[in-house]
Amino acid sequence: GDSRRNTKDTSKSSQRTSTSSSSSSASFASSSDENAPKQGKVALPNSRLQMKRPSNASVSLFFRREPAVSRVWLFLQDPDSSNAAWYYANFCNYFITLTIIFTIWQAATEPPVSRFAEGVAQITIEGLLMLEFIIHWISSAQRLAFLKNAYNVLDLLAIIPLGFRIAYGIATPTVDENLPVHALLCCFVPVVRQLKLIRKFQKLQLLLHVLSTTFDALKLLLFLVCLIVLLFGCILYVLEPAQSNQSLSESIYLCTVTVTTVGTCDMAPVTWPGKILAGVLCLISVLFMAMPLSVLGNAMSNTWADRHRILLMTQTRRRLKNLGYTAEDMPKLFKKFDKDGNGDLEMEEFCDLVATMRVGIKPSEASELFMAFDSNGDGGISEMEFMKALFPLDYRRIYRRMSGMTFGA
Protein backbone atom coordinates (compact mmCIF):
# COMPACT_ATOMS: atom_id res chain seq x y z
CA GLY A 1 0.00 0.00 0.00
CA ASP A 2 2.79 2.39 0.89
CA SER A 3 4.62 1.62 -2.36
CA ARG A 4 1.46 2.35 -4.40
CA ARG A 5 0.97 5.67 -2.60
CA ASN A 6 4.60 6.62 -3.21
CA THR A 7 4.26 5.74 -6.89
CA LYS A 8 1.11 7.91 -7.22
CA ASP A 9 2.75 10.82 -5.39
CA THR A 10 5.80 10.52 -7.64
CA SER A 11 3.68 10.52 -10.80
CA LYS A 12 1.67 13.55 -9.63
CA SER A 13 4.86 15.42 -8.75
CA SER A 14 6.36 14.68 -12.16
CA GLN A 15 3.15 15.88 -13.85
CA ARG A 16 3.23 19.14 -11.87
CA THR A 17 6.90 19.61 -12.73
CA SER A 18 6.29 19.06 -16.46
CA THR A 19 3.29 21.37 -16.36
CA SER A 20 5.23 24.15 -14.66
CA SER A 21 8.16 23.74 -17.03
CA SER A 22 5.80 23.84 -19.99
CA SER A 23 4.11 26.98 -18.70
CA SER A 24 7.45 28.68 -18.00
CA SER A 25 8.68 27.72 -21.48
CA ALA A 26 5.50 29.14 -22.96
CA SER A 27 5.84 32.34 -20.97
CA PHE A 28 9.53 32.68 -22.01
CA ALA A 29 8.54 32.13 -25.64
CA SER A 30 5.78 34.71 -25.39
CA SER A 31 8.09 37.22 -23.72
CA SER A 32 10.73 36.57 -26.39
CA ASP A 33 8.13 37.13 -29.08
CA GLU A 34 7.13 40.40 -27.47
CA ASN A 35 10.71 41.62 -27.24
CA ALA A 36 11.65 40.43 -30.72
CA PRO A 37 10.22 43.46 -32.57
CA LYS A 38 12.01 45.79 -30.16
CA GLN A 39 15.38 44.16 -30.43
CA GLY A 40 15.35 43.48 -34.16
CA LYS A 41 17.42 40.97 -36.00
CA VAL A 42 21.13 40.84 -35.47
CA ALA A 43 23.20 40.74 -38.62
CA LEU A 44 26.77 39.68 -39.06
CA PRO A 45 29.16 42.45 -38.03
CA ASN A 46 31.05 42.41 -41.35
CA SER A 47 27.97 42.19 -43.51
CA ARG A 48 26.69 45.33 -45.17
CA LEU A 49 23.32 43.68 -45.99
CA GLN A 50 21.80 44.49 -42.62
CA MET A 51 18.10 44.78 -42.05
CA LYS A 52 16.77 48.22 -42.96
CA ARG A 53 14.85 50.07 -40.29
CA PRO A 54 13.14 53.43 -40.56
CA SER A 55 14.91 56.16 -38.63
CA ASN A 56 12.76 57.87 -36.04
CA ALA A 57 15.14 60.83 -35.97
CA SER A 58 14.13 63.97 -37.80
CA VAL A 59 16.96 65.57 -39.74
CA SER A 60 15.12 68.85 -40.07
CA LEU A 61 14.58 69.13 -36.31
CA PHE A 62 18.32 68.77 -35.77
CA PHE A 63 18.96 71.96 -37.72
CA ARG A 64 15.70 73.73 -36.89
CA ARG A 65 16.09 73.52 -33.15
CA GLU A 66 16.81 76.75 -31.36
CA PRO A 67 20.54 77.32 -31.72
CA ALA A 68 22.77 78.04 -28.76
CA VAL A 69 23.36 81.51 -30.18
CA SER A 70 20.92 84.23 -31.15
CA ARG A 71 19.60 84.48 -34.68
CA VAL A 72 21.04 87.98 -34.99
CA TRP A 73 24.52 86.64 -34.25
CA LEU A 74 23.99 83.82 -36.73
CA PHE A 75 22.85 86.34 -39.35
CA LEU A 76 26.02 88.41 -38.94
CA GLN A 77 28.41 85.50 -38.48
CA ASP A 78 27.30 82.91 -41.04
CA PRO A 79 26.42 84.04 -44.60
CA ASP A 80 25.05 80.56 -45.33
CA SER A 81 22.48 80.72 -42.53
CA SER A 82 19.86 82.36 -44.77
CA ASN A 83 19.43 84.14 -48.09
CA ALA A 84 19.21 87.50 -46.33
CA ALA A 85 22.50 86.84 -44.55
CA TRP A 86 24.13 85.93 -47.87
CA TYR A 87 22.94 89.15 -49.56
CA TYR A 88 23.99 91.23 -46.56
CA ALA A 89 27.47 89.69 -46.50
CA ASN A 90 28.00 90.37 -50.20
CA PHE A 91 26.70 93.92 -49.87
CA CYS A 92 29.17 94.55 -47.05
CA ASN A 93 32.04 93.24 -49.18
CA TYR A 94 31.31 95.66 -52.03
CA PHE A 95 30.57 98.50 -49.63
CA ILE A 96 33.90 98.15 -47.80
CA THR A 97 35.75 97.86 -51.11
CA LEU A 98 34.22 101.15 -52.28
CA THR A 99 35.20 102.86 -49.02
CA ILE A 100 38.80 101.70 -49.52
CA ILE A 101 38.88 103.14 -53.04
CA PHE A 102 37.32 106.37 -51.80
CA THR A 103 39.90 106.75 -48.99
CA ILE A 104 42.85 106.19 -51.34
CA TRP A 105 41.40 108.52 -53.98
CA GLN A 106 40.87 111.23 -51.40
CA ALA A 107 44.60 111.10 -50.49
CA ALA A 108 45.57 112.17 -54.02
CA THR A 109 47.05 115.57 -54.78
CA GLU A 110 43.67 116.68 -56.13
CA PRO A 111 41.00 115.02 -53.97
CA PRO A 112 37.54 114.62 -55.54
CA VAL A 113 35.66 116.19 -52.59
CA SER A 114 36.52 118.65 -49.87
CA ARG A 115 38.17 117.51 -46.66
CA PHE A 116 35.09 118.36 -44.63
CA ALA A 117 32.77 116.37 -46.90
CA GLU A 118 35.22 113.48 -46.85
CA GLY A 119 35.30 113.62 -43.04
CA VAL A 120 31.50 113.50 -42.81
CA ALA A 121 31.41 110.50 -45.16
CA GLN A 122 34.11 108.69 -43.21
CA ILE A 123 32.38 109.34 -39.87
CA THR A 124 29.16 107.93 -41.31
CA ILE A 125 30.96 104.84 -42.61
CA GLU A 126 32.79 104.19 -39.36
CA GLY A 127 29.59 104.83 -37.39
CA LEU A 128 27.87 102.05 -39.36
CA LEU A 129 30.84 99.75 -38.75
CA MET A 130 30.69 100.53 -35.02
CA LEU A 131 26.94 99.83 -34.94
CA GLU A 132 27.49 96.45 -36.60
CA PHE A 133 30.28 95.60 -34.16
CA ILE A 134 28.15 96.50 -31.12
CA ILE A 135 25.18 94.44 -32.34
CA HIS A 136 27.49 91.54 -33.12
CA TRP A 137 29.07 91.72 -29.66
CA ILE A 138 25.77 92.02 -27.77
CA SER A 139 24.22 89.11 -29.66
CA SER A 140 27.22 86.88 -28.93
CA ALA A 141 26.69 84.22 -26.27
CA GLN A 142 30.38 84.15 -25.28
CA ARG A 143 31.55 87.75 -25.28
CA LEU A 144 35.04 87.04 -23.99
CA ALA A 145 35.64 84.50 -26.74
CA PHE A 146 34.19 87.02 -29.19
CA LEU A 147 36.88 89.56 -28.32
CA LYS A 148 39.60 86.92 -28.69
CA ASN A 149 38.59 86.16 -32.27
CA ALA A 150 41.08 87.64 -34.76
CA TYR A 151 38.34 88.65 -37.20
CA ASN A 152 36.49 90.57 -34.48
CA VAL A 153 39.72 92.27 -33.41
CA LEU A 154 40.08 93.57 -36.98
CA ASP A 155 36.49 94.84 -36.83
CA LEU A 156 37.36 96.68 -33.62
CA LEU A 157 40.49 98.22 -35.15
CA ALA A 158 38.44 99.46 -38.11
CA ILE A 159 36.36 101.74 -35.87
CA ILE A 160 39.28 103.21 -33.86
CA PRO A 161 39.86 106.06 -36.39
CA LEU A 162 36.38 107.36 -35.53
CA GLY A 163 37.69 108.61 -32.18
CA PHE A 164 40.55 110.49 -33.86
CA ARG A 165 38.17 112.14 -36.33
CA ILE A 166 35.96 113.37 -33.51
CA ALA A 167 38.93 114.49 -31.37
CA TYR A 168 40.87 116.35 -34.11
CA GLY A 169 37.96 117.72 -36.11
CA ILE A 170 35.74 116.41 -38.85
CA ALA A 171 38.03 117.48 -41.68
CA THR A 172 41.01 115.19 -42.21
CA PRO A 173 44.19 117.11 -41.26
CA THR A 174 46.95 117.57 -43.82
CA VAL A 175 50.58 116.48 -43.47
CA ASP A 176 51.62 119.96 -42.33
CA GLU A 177 48.81 120.22 -39.78
CA ASN A 178 49.20 116.81 -38.07
CA LEU A 179 51.38 114.15 -39.65
CA PRO A 180 50.58 111.22 -37.27
CA VAL A 181 46.80 111.68 -37.53
CA HIS A 182 47.01 112.21 -41.29
CA ALA A 183 49.02 108.99 -41.68
CA LEU A 184 46.53 107.12 -39.46
CA LEU A 185 43.46 108.29 -41.35
CA CYS A 186 44.92 107.98 -44.85
CA CYS A 187 47.13 104.87 -44.52
CA PHE A 188 45.87 102.83 -41.59
CA VAL A 189 42.19 103.04 -42.56
CA PRO A 190 42.38 101.40 -46.03
CA VAL A 191 44.73 98.68 -44.74
CA VAL A 192 42.56 97.65 -41.81
CA ARG A 193 39.42 97.73 -43.94
CA GLN A 194 41.11 95.48 -46.45
CA LEU A 195 41.93 93.09 -43.61
CA LYS A 196 38.24 93.02 -42.67
CA LEU A 197 37.57 91.21 -45.94
CA ILE A 198 39.83 88.28 -45.00
CA ARG A 199 36.97 86.41 -43.32
CA LYS A 200 35.10 86.36 -46.64
CA PHE A 201 37.78 84.26 -48.36
CA GLN A 202 37.32 80.68 -47.17
CA LYS A 203 40.13 79.37 -49.38
CA LEU A 204 42.56 81.30 -47.21
CA GLN A 205 42.40 78.21 -45.01
CA LEU A 206 44.37 76.39 -47.72
CA LEU A 207 47.32 78.76 -47.33
CA LEU A 208 47.17 78.45 -43.54
CA HIS A 209 47.09 74.66 -43.92
CA VAL A 210 50.20 74.78 -46.14
CA LEU A 211 52.08 76.94 -43.65
CA SER A 212 51.11 74.71 -40.73
CA THR A 213 52.25 71.53 -42.49
CA THR A 214 55.57 73.01 -43.66
CA PHE A 215 56.36 75.09 -40.58
CA ASP A 216 58.93 72.67 -39.14
CA ALA A 217 60.77 72.35 -42.45
CA LEU A 218 60.75 76.11 -42.98
CA LYS A 219 62.18 76.72 -39.51
CA LEU A 220 65.16 74.50 -40.34
CA LEU A 221 65.71 76.17 -43.70
CA LEU A 222 65.47 79.64 -42.15
CA PHE A 223 68.06 78.64 -39.56
CA LEU A 224 70.43 77.45 -42.30
CA VAL A 225 69.93 80.68 -44.26
CA CYS A 226 70.81 82.73 -41.19
CA LEU A 227 73.87 80.56 -40.61
CA ILE A 228 75.08 81.01 -44.22
CA VAL A 229 74.55 84.78 -44.12
CA LEU A 230 76.34 85.15 -40.79
CA LEU A 231 79.27 82.91 -41.81
CA PHE A 232 79.89 84.56 -45.18
CA GLY A 233 79.31 88.02 -43.71
CA CYS A 234 82.03 87.49 -41.13
CA ILE A 235 84.46 86.08 -43.72
CA LEU A 236 83.76 88.98 -46.08
CA TYR A 237 84.35 91.47 -43.27
CA VAL A 238 87.76 89.93 -42.62
CA LEU A 239 88.79 89.78 -46.31
CA GLU A 240 87.76 93.31 -47.25
CA PRO A 241 90.31 96.05 -46.35
CA ALA A 242 89.60 98.71 -43.80
CA GLN A 243 89.73 101.37 -46.53
CA SER A 244 86.38 100.15 -47.87
CA ASN A 245 84.68 101.50 -44.72
CA GLN A 246 82.48 98.41 -44.59
CA SER A 247 81.30 97.38 -41.15
CA LEU A 248 80.26 93.90 -40.06
CA SER A 249 76.56 94.79 -40.24
CA GLU A 250 77.03 96.09 -43.79
CA SER A 251 78.80 92.86 -44.77
CA ILE A 252 75.91 90.83 -43.37
CA TYR A 253 73.47 93.07 -45.24
CA LEU A 254 75.41 92.47 -48.48
CA CYS A 255 75.27 88.70 -47.95
CA THR A 256 71.55 88.86 -47.14
CA VAL A 257 70.79 90.67 -50.37
CA THR A 258 72.93 88.18 -52.29
CA VAL A 259 71.33 85.09 -50.75
CA THR A 260 67.78 86.32 -51.33
CA THR A 261 68.71 87.18 -54.97
CA VAL A 262 67.24 90.66 -54.57
CA GLY A 263 70.30 92.42 -55.96
CA THR A 264 69.43 95.98 -54.83
CA CYS A 265 72.52 96.53 -52.67
CA ASP A 266 74.77 99.41 -53.73
CA MET A 267 77.81 97.77 -52.10
CA ALA A 268 80.21 95.29 -53.70
CA PRO A 269 83.50 93.59 -52.75
CA VAL A 270 86.66 95.39 -53.92
CA THR A 271 89.29 92.64 -53.46
CA TRP A 272 89.66 89.44 -55.50
CA PRO A 273 89.17 87.14 -52.48
CA GLY A 274 86.02 89.08 -51.61
CA LYS A 275 84.70 88.80 -55.17
CA ILE A 276 85.40 85.06 -55.27
CA LEU A 277 83.64 84.63 -51.94
CA ALA A 278 80.64 86.58 -53.26
CA GLY A 279 80.52 84.34 -56.35
CA VAL A 280 80.57 81.19 -54.21
CA LEU A 281 77.79 82.66 -52.09
CA CYS A 282 75.72 83.31 -55.23
CA LEU A 283 76.06 79.68 -56.34
CA ILE A 284 75.22 78.33 -52.87
CA SER A 285 72.22 80.63 -52.50
CA VAL A 286 70.79 79.60 -55.90
CA LEU A 287 70.99 75.92 -54.95
CA PHE A 288 69.83 76.44 -51.38
CA MET A 289 66.87 78.76 -52.05
CA ALA A 290 65.40 76.14 -54.38
CA MET A 291 64.70 73.90 -51.38
CA PRO A 292 62.15 76.06 -49.51
CA LEU A 293 60.44 76.93 -52.79
CA SER A 294 60.14 73.25 -53.68
CA VAL A 295 58.86 72.42 -50.19
CA LEU A 296 56.19 75.12 -50.37
CA GLY A 297 55.30 74.23 -53.96
CA ASN A 298 54.92 70.54 -53.19
CA ALA A 299 52.85 71.25 -50.08
CA MET A 300 50.62 73.66 -52.00
CA SER A 301 50.09 71.10 -54.78
CA ASN A 302 49.10 68.41 -52.29
CA THR A 303 46.84 70.82 -50.42
CA TRP A 304 45.16 71.99 -53.62
CA ALA A 305 44.54 68.41 -54.68
CA ASP A 306 42.92 67.80 -51.28
CA ARG A 307 41.23 71.22 -51.13
CA HIS A 308 37.66 69.87 -51.15
CA ARG A 309 38.17 67.82 -48.01
CA ILE A 310 40.04 70.62 -46.21
CA LEU A 311 37.41 73.22 -47.11
CA LEU A 312 34.61 70.84 -46.16
CA MET A 313 36.15 70.24 -42.74
CA THR A 314 36.66 73.97 -42.17
CA GLN A 315 33.23 75.02 -43.38
CA THR A 316 31.49 72.16 -41.59
CA ARG A 317 33.16 73.02 -38.29
CA ARG A 318 32.23 76.68 -38.76
CA ARG A 319 28.65 75.82 -39.69
CA LEU A 320 28.16 73.48 -36.72
CA LYS A 321 29.86 75.92 -34.34
CA ASN A 322 27.57 78.72 -35.50
CA LEU A 323 24.58 76.47 -34.81
CA GLY A 324 25.88 75.74 -31.33
CA TYR A 325 27.04 72.15 -31.89
CA THR A 326 30.32 70.58 -30.81
CA ALA A 327 32.22 67.38 -31.54
CA GLU A 328 30.19 65.57 -28.87
CA ASP A 329 27.04 66.10 -30.98
CA MET A 330 28.53 64.42 -34.05
CA PRO A 331 27.46 60.86 -33.16
CA LYS A 332 23.85 62.06 -32.92
CA LEU A 333 24.21 63.93 -36.23
CA PHE A 334 25.62 60.81 -37.83
CA LYS A 335 22.70 58.69 -36.64
CA LYS A 336 20.13 61.19 -37.89
CA PHE A 337 21.50 60.96 -41.42
CA ASP A 338 21.97 57.19 -41.20
CA LYS A 339 18.42 56.57 -42.42
CA ASP A 340 18.70 52.79 -42.82
CA GLY A 341 20.40 52.38 -39.45
CA ASN A 342 23.19 50.10 -40.68
CA GLY A 343 25.91 52.12 -38.96
CA ASP A 344 27.36 53.61 -42.18
CA LEU A 345 26.61 56.59 -44.40
CA GLU A 346 26.24 55.53 -48.01
CA MET A 347 26.81 57.89 -50.94
CA GLU A 348 23.23 59.16 -51.02
CA GLU A 349 23.07 59.72 -47.27
CA PHE A 350 26.39 61.56 -47.25
CA CYS A 351 25.29 63.82 -50.11
CA ASP A 352 22.08 64.56 -48.18
CA LEU A 353 24.16 65.55 -45.17
CA VAL A 354 26.31 67.94 -47.24
CA ALA A 355 23.26 69.44 -48.97
CA THR A 356 21.35 69.92 -45.71
CA MET A 357 24.23 71.65 -43.99
CA ARG A 358 24.76 74.04 -46.94
CA VAL A 359 28.53 74.26 -46.63
CA GLY A 360 29.10 75.34 -50.24
CA ILE A 361 30.04 71.95 -51.70
CA LYS A 362 28.64 70.91 -55.07
CA PRO A 363 27.11 67.43 -55.53
CA SER A 364 30.01 66.34 -57.74
CA GLU A 365 32.49 67.54 -55.12
CA ALA A 366 30.51 65.77 -52.39
CA SER A 367 30.98 62.50 -54.28
CA GLU A 368 34.74 63.04 -54.36
CA LEU A 369 34.71 63.82 -50.65
CA PHE A 370 32.80 60.64 -49.97
CA MET A 371 35.54 58.63 -51.64
CA ALA A 372 38.17 60.53 -49.63
CA PHE A 373 36.38 59.87 -46.33
CA ASP A 374 35.86 56.18 -47.13
CA SER A 375 39.33 55.17 -46.02
CA ASN A 376 38.78 51.40 -46.19
CA GLY A 377 36.92 51.49 -49.52
CA ASP A 378 33.89 49.48 -48.38
CA GLY A 379 31.35 51.86 -49.92
CA GLY A 380 30.30 53.50 -46.65
CA ILE A 381 31.55 55.97 -44.05
CA SER A 382 31.44 54.69 -40.50
CA GLU A 383 30.94 56.93 -37.50
CA MET A 384 34.61 56.68 -36.54
CA GLU A 385 35.74 57.54 -40.08
CA PHE A 386 33.37 60.50 -40.06
CA MET A 387 34.67 61.78 -36.72
CA LYS A 388 38.32 61.18 -37.59
CA ALA A 389 38.00 63.19 -40.80
CA LEU A 390 36.16 66.16 -39.30
CA PHE A 391 37.48 66.33 -35.74
CA PRO A 392 40.77 64.39 -35.53
CA LEU A 393 41.76 65.77 -32.11
CA ASP A 394 38.33 65.36 -30.56
CA TYR A 395 38.07 61.94 -32.17
CA ARG A 396 40.87 60.60 -30.00
CA ARG A 397 39.45 62.13 -26.85
CA ILE A 398 35.85 60.99 -27.39
CA TYR A 399 36.57 57.43 -28.44
CA ARG A 400 39.18 56.93 -25.74
CA ARG A 401 36.54 57.91 -23.21
CA MET A 402 33.88 55.68 -24.81
CA SER A 403 36.23 52.70 -24.88
CA GLY A 404 37.45 53.32 -21.34
CA MET A 405 41.08 53.60 -22.46
CA THR A 406 43.45 55.60 -20.27
CA PHE A 407 46.96 56.67 -21.07
CA GLY A 408 49.71 57.66 -18.74
CA ALA A 409 51.69 60.83 -18.99
Tell me which DSSP letter residue 342 carries: S
Q: Phi, psi at residue 9, to the nearest 5°? A: -60, -40
Q: What is the mean pLDDT of residues 340-356?
A: 81
Q: Which pairing describes strands 344-345 and 381-382: parallel, antiparallel, or unpaired?
A: antiparallel
> CA 235, CA 231: separation in Å to the nearest integer?
6
Query: Could you report the per-residue pLDDT of 202-240, keeping only the tens digit for each?
Result: 777 788 878 888 888 888 888 988 999 999 999 988 888
Helix (H) or strand (E) holding 299: helix 272-305
Q: Would you state the pLDDT for residue 17?
A: 46
Spatial CB neighbours of 185, under 8 Å, sequence gap ≥ 6: 122, 161, 164, 165, 172, 173
Please give the Cα distance from 311 to 369 (Å, whole number): 10
Position 122 pLDDT exceeds 90: yes
HEC profile for 133-157? Answer: HHHHHHCCCCHHHHHHCHHHHHHHH
What's the mean pLDDT in 229-254? 84
DSSP assignment letter at 54: -
Of 52-61, 152-161, 265-274, 387-396, minimum mean pLDDT range: 52-61
Which distant-in-sequence residues (6+ apart) come within 8 Å of 52 by Cβ? 340, 341, 342
Over 50: is that where the pLDDT of 331 sits?
A: yes
CA–CA dist 33, 390 (Å, integer) = 42
Tell me: pLDDT of 95 over 90.
yes
Taking the C-alpha atoms of residue 45 and residue 407, their distance in angstroms, rounded to an integer, is: 28
Q: How far apart are CA 187 and CA 132, in angstroms?
A: 23
- Give yes or no for a contact between 126 and 160, defined as CB atoms under 8 angstroms apart: no
- Cβ contacts of 20 within 8 Å, gap of 6 or more: none
Phi, psi dihedral angles at 381 (to 5 degrees): -110, 120
The 3-state DSSP class for residue 69 equals coil
**2 pLDDT above the threshold of 70:** no
Q: Give the dihedral of Cα atoms 172, 174, 175, 181; nearest 10 deg.
A: -20
Angle at 377 between CA 372 and CA 379, to 5 degrees: 95
The pLDDT mean for the chain works out to: 76
What is the tens place of the pLDDT at every residue in 258-288? 888 766 567 778 888 888 988 898 888 888 8
Summarize pLDDT for 47-69 with one digit per residue, the tens: 433 433 334 445 555 555 444 45
Cα 73 from Cα 163, distance rounded (Å):
26
